[in-house]
A and B are shown apart, each in its own frame.
Chain A
Amino acid sequence: MDDQGCPRCKTTKYRNPSLKLMVNVCGHTLCENCVEMLFVRGSGNCVQCDTPLRKSNFRVQLFEDPTVDKEVEIRKKVLKIYNKRDFDFPSLREYNDYLEQVEDIVFNLTNNIDVENTKLRMEQYQRENRDIIQKNKAKLTREQEELEELLLLEQQGNEQRRLEALQEEQRQLQAKKKNKQALLDELEQSQLPATILLAQHKVRAAQLETQIEQQKQAVKPTNLFSTGIQMRQTVSLQPVPRIEEVLYHYKPLQVETYGPRVPELEQLGRLGTHGDSSTTGDLSWTQPSSETGELS
């Protein structure tokens, strides 16, 4: 974004790294200094397109392309009015048509096509649908709700993990403290020589250490695959057991072909080829190649 600059004073980001570019409703950029200078009185005309502008409407340019800034601005405004949700429509098709209509309005406003009419249309829509607009103001779309939910879950998960880690740490600290205290007590009361006590303590500390280490590594075992099958289930190597009970009885289909006898499926499967290969073809090796057309 180094090569971007103010169209009026020609300063660029490269020359002045602290340059702040601003954009107003018409989508033309000016740097902060120029805005201060030109709009001392609070309003004025755009240098490039002569649209009357207010100083208070200048925003910091977020994107490289100022028209995108402008479009987003307009879009937010439009979406405030056109805030019907998918459940306001009887079918998805109508909802999509509606979305396209909204998109048209935004497109027209951004590209200055037929602005007057579009604005009129918007006003009319606003008048007609006042109730729905009011009602939907607070509602989120279903997708947004889902998103919020996911975010919430994620946060909870993180929080829980943090708490668990904290608790774990606390417990270890306590165990260590207790161990130390025990040593002091023993040194005070026991009749055994101190060297032996110290050696005992050392062993105990090492044990504790390994125990903690093990605990750290022991993660909650889940023993379920996502398919719902136990993880360490002994997998039998036998072919899948056949279900014995008679569920369905297959009756061969009788079709009158008025032609030569059709070879049995069994025969085809075992032998691969049938005697009369010109008519039946080789069912197993070359599948009938259907016309699939161009792949890419």
Chain B
Amino acid sequence: MKLNIEGLLVYFPYDYIYPEQYSYMLELKRTLDAKGHGVLEMPSGTGKTISLLSLIVAYQRAFPLDVTKLIYCSRTVPEIEKVVEELRKLMEFYAKETGERNNFLALALSSRKNLCIHPEVSSLRFGKEVDGKCHSLTASYIRAQRHVNPNQPVCRFYEEFDAVGRQVPLPAGIYNLDDLKDFGRRKGWCPYYLARYAILHANIVVYSYHYLLDPKIADLVSKELAKKSVVVFDEAHNIDNVCIDSMSVNITRRTLDRCQNNVDTLQNTIQKIKETDAAKLREEYRRLVEGLKEANVARETDIYLSNPVLPDEILKEAVPGTIRTAEHFVGFLRRFLEYLKSRLRVHHVVQESAPQFLKDIFDKVCIDRKPLRFCAERLQSLLRTLEIADIADFSAVTLISNFATLVSTYSQGFTIIIEPFEDRTPTIANPVLHFSCMDPSIAIKPVFQRFQSVIITSGTLSPLDIYPRILDFRPVTMASFTMTLARTCLCPLIVGRGNDQVALSSKFETREDFAVIRNYGNLLLEMSAVVPDGIVAFFTSYVYMENIVASWYEQGILENIQRNKLIFIETQDAAETSMALEKYQEACENGRGAILLSVARGKVSEGIDFVHHFGRAVIMFGVPYVYTQSRILKARLEYLRDQFQIRENDFLTFDAMRHAAQCVGRAIRGKTDYGLMIFADKRYARADKRGKLPRWIQEHINDGSLNLTVDETVQLSKHFLRQMAQPFRQEDQLGLSLLTLEQLESEEMLQKITQIAHQT
């Protein structure tokens, strides 16, 4: 259908539209008009992706000079593929409606592991190996050597691409990863480099978060993306953690040992080169004296995305004299390494700030702050000069040099924690130096600064105002959309008590309480008798789950449950879990019914959807707080309190509730779907917890379902399930939660739609 969104003609590839989709597009359009950033929450299963795509594509067509590119960031490869498929549908619709083939280029980008077509390289199992092998075949000096020595192996796909592919632009169309591979095979070009090259002039790029947020990767891939782009982070409820992870460094004893080897290799290589090809080192030296001016010019003229590891002042200055020659630099690395080793030899936990660390390092090994700051850049230059083929080998020393640069650049927002052993095993020495980032805004800042519009969207972003605060940006729109429903297909229930009136809670004091565990068991048992097909149960941690399941086994609860349904368990092992999932689905499929016991924050809770009969009920046992005793978390909480005025409790609750919402949201993946959401902890009834659930869930919690016993829960569930089991046709939805074009354009509906978006 063709929509008119405030004067913008939008092609929407379906015959019907949900009212919230229309509202979502309205908000999105306003954000783009204002050229600002936005935070939008819309329930999963209401067609977020297609609304985003159709509006932004329409916007691109209408104002090709204002918005040149859409960068769509998602989390996993299957999600990326899904987006591309939606896009393909949209483009087919365009072709059908307008009758002309438009020259629209959209493509997905993933790692070499997913894109390589070289017969030997692609058969390697791990991403790192593939990257290393690829680099050893395609690095520029390897290829230069081939001119001298024709036996030197190179990648023929890359050669072909380099010779021909660069001149010929990728023909317009929609490419997912397989399409790229096919195209590469047909032409004999390397799909990975082809894709990386093509994203510069593509209209839509779909890739993973890390290509923008991780400074190391972003520097390679996304540096030159146009400023007038719209960036979308989908499923962004965890974006702060991604940012933090990308800037944090953990150094163990093993890293240092590997680093020692790296430094030795560097020294040997330098020695060798000095004897054979001293001119090369002199050339590098000359360049360093001149400074890193090239990159600086590029950044100033807005060609490059800035990189938080490469701060601005470095680009303006030349490398300090202390680390200018290769030997001195290696000596410098050696000293730094020895210093880190001596720090890791502590017997008690140390926590210090970056300035303290810098002062100590100066006192101990006379290393100034300035050369430390240049460390990462200097190492890159050295590795390039020495023509080291297998970069993967040097990951340890690269890590250390990144750490050096970060610690000397940022005096705030980071903390250094040295733990001599893990908390659980105080007798086994396993020293770790955590250099942990506490401020997610550092990593994401360049993205907000560079790109004209950044949209953060997900099914669960409540409370909305916390994201702008912790990411430190100013959105022009913040909106939360609810689901319009023809029937209330979700039923959130808060179970606070067992049948014997024992308060249900996973709080620390009652962890081991048999009464609580028994009542949890009872709840699951009763539900397994009432709910058809699949039930998914989430626990707060693996340890807690193990304890409870063991105790259920002893009490004979498991046996009783198994009369009703089969039980599957998620474990930390990925292969085991995927096996369990497969069997779970099989059991749901053939009518036997199954229960999946899994863990909040685990794999299942984040990526796997339980549509229709795969998840008729989700039970959340306890509130999934993070492990609050971790020092890294404590430091972060303190930082949040001091810098952003976010209270510890607020943040912890926010974090727990977003994970709880993620878990229970797994069951409802669309409007025809239905499911029970059972929160089994009395703490959910409190206003501060409840208020942090997404609005589309909150709406359906009424006062009657706040502090139920197990029996009452069963009664309510029975009632709900019987209602939902009645036949439900599309006609029932029409006009209420599903609209045709005429219905959409009626005055009354437009009125209603304006109320859907909940501004905060």
A residues touching B (Cβ–Cβ < 8 Å)?
1, 62-65, 68, 71-72, 75-76, 79, 92-93, 95-104, 107, 110, 141, 143-144, 146-148, 150-151, 154, 157, 161, 217, 219-222, 225-227, 229, 231, 235, 237-240, 265, 269, 272, 282-287, 289, 291-292, 294-296
Contacts and interface: CB of A to CB of B under 8 A. Distances in A.
Contact of A64 (B226, B318, B341, B478): B341
A157 B641 CA distance: 13
Contacts of B221: 295
A194 B166 CA distance: 93
B200 A292 contact: yes
Contacts of B65: 265, 269, 284
A1 B475 contact: no
B734 interface: no
Contacts of A93: 289, 318
Interface string B700-738: 000000000000000000000000000000000000000
B68 interface: yes
Contacts of B33: 239-240
B135 interface: yes
Contacts of B356: 151, 154
B30 A143 contact: no
Given A72-B365, A161-B642, A284-B64, 18 more contacts: A1-B345, A63-B338, A63-B341, A71-B335, A99-B322, A100-B325, A107-B328, A141-B368, A147-B358, A225-B474, A239-B30, A285-B102, A285-B103, A286-B105, A287-B200, A287-B226, A295-B196, A296-B139
Contact of A100 (B172, B321, B364): B321
18 contacts: A62-B364, A63-B339, A72-B364, A79-B366, A96-B324, A99-B321, A100-B328, A103-B328, A154-B355, A225-B473, A225-B474, A237-B759, A239-B34, A285-B64, A286-B172, A289-B201, A291-B166, A295-B221
A226 B472 contact: yes
A107 B334 CA distance: 13
Contact of B369 (A95, A102, A147, A231): A147
B120 to A, nearest CB: 20
A68 B358 contact: no
Interface of B: 27, 30, 33-35, 61, 63-65, 68, 102-105, 135, 139-140, 166, 169, 172, 193, 196-197, 200-201, 203, 220-221, 224, 226, 289, 317-322, 324-325, 327-328, 331, 334-335, 338-339, 341-342, 345, 353, 355-356, 358-359, 362, 364-366, 368-370, 411, 468-469, 472-478, 641-642, 645, 647, 649, 759
Contacts of A102: 321-322
Nearest to A97: B321
A20 B226 CA distance: 60
A230 to B, nearest CB: 10
Contact of A147 (B328, B335, B355): B355
A2 B48 CA distance: 58
A286 B103 contact: yes
Contacts of A161: 642
Contacts of B104: 285
A157 B355 CA distance: 14
Contact of B322 (A71, A100, A226, A285): A100
Contacts, number: 158
A22 B365 CA distance: 17
Question: Which 3 A-B residue pairings sit nearest by Cβ, starting from the closest?
Answer: A99-B321, A284-B64, A96-B321
B332 to A, nearest CB: 9
Contacts of A151: 355-356, 359
Contacts of B642: 157, 161
A229 B468 CA distance: 12
Nearest to A269: B65
A285 B341 contact: no
Contacts of B473: 225
A238 B33 CA distance: 9
Nearest to B168: A289
B386 to A, nearest CB: 16
A200 B169 CA distance: 83
A239 B322 CA distance: 53
A64 B342 CA distance: 8
Nearest to A273: B103
B169 A289 contact: yes
Nearest to B6: A239
Contact of B30 (A97, A237, A287): A237
Contacts of B477: 235, 237
A238 B61 CA distance: 22
Given A76-B366, A285-B64, A295-B196, A235 B472 contact: no
A240 B645 contact: no
A237 B476 contact: yes
A161 B135 CA distance: 52
A235 B359 contact: no
A286 B201 contact: yes
A243 to B, nearest CB: 15
B329 to A, nearest CB: 10
Nearest to B31: A237
A143 B102 CA distance: 57
A96 B320 contact: yes
Nearest to A75: B366
Contacts of A62: 342, 364
Given A143-B370, A284-B64, A72 B335 contact: yes
Contact of A296 (B135, B366, B370): B135
A227 B474 contact: yes
B427 to A, nearest CB: 15
Nearest to A72: B365
Given A68-B338, A151-B359, A272-B61, A95 B474 contact: no
Contacts of A72: 335, 364-366
B649 A71 contact: no
Contact of B475 (A103, A235, A291): A235
Query: Which of A97, A102, A295 lies at the interface centre, i.e. has the most chain B CB atoms within 10 A of its CB?
Result: A295
A148 B224 CA distance: 39
A221 B645 contact: yes
A291 B68 CA distance: 19
A64 B260 CA distance: 11
Contacts of A269: 63-65
A235 B464 CA distance: 14
Contacts of B645: 219-222
Query: Which of A75, A103, A269, A282 lies at the interface centre, i.e. has the most chain B CB atoms within 10 A of its CB?
Result: A103
A221 B645 CA distance: 7
B517 to A, nearest CB: 31
B107 to A, nearest CB: 13
A240 B34 contact: yes
B692 to A, nearest CB: 15
B103 A282 contact: yes
B320 A99 contact: yes
Contacts of A68: 334-335, 338, 365
A215 B232 CA distance: 40
A260 to B, nearest CB: 22
Contacts of A1: 345
A239 B630 CA distance: 45
Contacts of B322: 99-100, 102-103
Contacts of A141: 368
A274 to B, nearest CB: 12
Nearest to B358: A147
Contacts of A146: 369
